């Protein structure tokens, strides 16, 4: 399936979300916050890597995906009328991650982070939002992006050494 029809389907589901549930449980809101924080941390790390090593792949490609993922999660906050948490990396409230000494090390960190991300969704986030089909759809897509779209390029990069 191309991205455009999937995006249209996703937007339609997000617009229909209030028909499923008007409020979020504390667990679902916490899961949404964890997912958003994870996306923002990844973006901050990739930005640090690019600041040190230039427009290096796969970071230059995946940082844009992280921004799209953040926008999808923010859309869910808006759908449910929940205030979007500030981006502590953007405001300086959180210390931005630093890039390691080598690009290969950055790629190894990327591999570890994408595996941890997949496991976070499987073990914590998806179960916490199971009662919300729209949130589950978005989180499943983000989880799959980590495993299927982000992990392989980081593995190739790490293996190049």
For residue 19, the model assigns a pLDDT of 44
For residue 78, the model assigns a pLDDT of 96
In whole angstroms, give the CA distance from residue 6 to residue 9. 5
Contacts of 7 (CB under 8 A, 6+ apart): none
For residue 20, the model assigns a pLDDT of 47
Per run of 10 residues, the mean pLDDT along the chain (length 161 residues) is 55 51 88 96 95 93 93 96 94 92 96 95 97 97 95 94 67
For residue 155, the model assigns a pLDDT of 96
Contacts of 148 (CB under 8 A, 6+ apart): none
- Does the domain at residues 23-160 carry the CATH identifier 3.40.640.10? no
In whole angstroms, give the CA distance from residue 117 to residue 42. 10
For residue 9, the model assigns a pLDDT of 52
pTM: 0.83
């Amino acid at each position: 399936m191309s991205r455009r029809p999937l995006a249209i389907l996703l937007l339609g589901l997000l617009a229909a979300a209030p028909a499923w549930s008007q409020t979020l449980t504390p667990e679902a809101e916490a899961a949404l916050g964890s997912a958003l924080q994870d996306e923002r941390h990844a973006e901050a790390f990739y930005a640090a890597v690019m600041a040190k090593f230039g427009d290096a792949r796969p970071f230059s490609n995946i940082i844009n995906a992280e921004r799209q993922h953040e926008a999808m999660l923010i859309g869910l906050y808006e759908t449910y009328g929940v205030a979007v948490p500030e981006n502590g990396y953007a405001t300086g409230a959180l210390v931005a991650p630093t890039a390691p000494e080598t690009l290969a090390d950055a790629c190894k960190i990327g591999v570890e982070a994408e595996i941890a991300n997949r496991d976070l969704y499987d073990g914590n986030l998806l179960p916490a939002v199971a009662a919300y089909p729209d949130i589950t759809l978005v989180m499943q897509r983000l989880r799959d992006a980590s495993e299927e779209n982000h992990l392989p390029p980081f593995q190739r990069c790490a293996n190049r050494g």
